[in-house]
Amino acid sequence: MTLCGPLAPYPSSAVHALMPSVVRFMLQAFLEIDATEAAVAGGEGWLPTAENVNALPEGVRRYIRGLDAKVRELEADLADMRLKGDRDQ
């Protein structure tokens, strides 16, 4: 199943509107699940602070940056669509 699979029945404008929230929800869920894992090296658990995120393996940091970039891209697309809709009215 792809990320957009559950959103397929909706019009593309709705998908564009929902996608940033879906991506944020996925990232939040990932971080929450990771935070519930057993503490590493005597720590009290992992929290998504800037220091902890920067200490993650490069692949995970790239994934997080990619999600953040996708959210920004989708938010820009949504803003453009809303602006275009306002001009059409």
24 domain residue, yes or no = yes
Q: What is the pTM of this model?
A: 0.46
* Per-residue pLDDT, 50: 83
3-state secondary structure of 55: coil
Residue at 52 is within a domain: yes
Give me the number of domains the chain comprises: 1
Summarize the confidence of residues 78-82 as an average pLDDT: 87
CA distance 48 to 32: 9
The answer to whether residue 34 sits within a structural domain is yes
pLDDT reported for residue 77? 87
Q: Is residue 28 part of a domain?
A: yes
What one-character DSSP code corresponds to residue 37?
S
pLDDT one-digit tens code per residue, 16-29: 777 788 777 777 77
Cα distance between residue 49 and residue 31, in whole Å: 10
pLDDT of residue 56: 82
**What's the pLDDT score for residue 24?**
79
- Distance between CA atoms of residues 6 and 70, nearest Å: 18
**pLDDT score of 1:** 47
Structure confidence at residue 44 (pLDDT):
59
Question: Which tokens hold the place of 18?
Answer: 């929902």
Evaluate whether residue 9 is within a structural domain.
no
Q: Decide if 76 is inside a domain.
A: yes
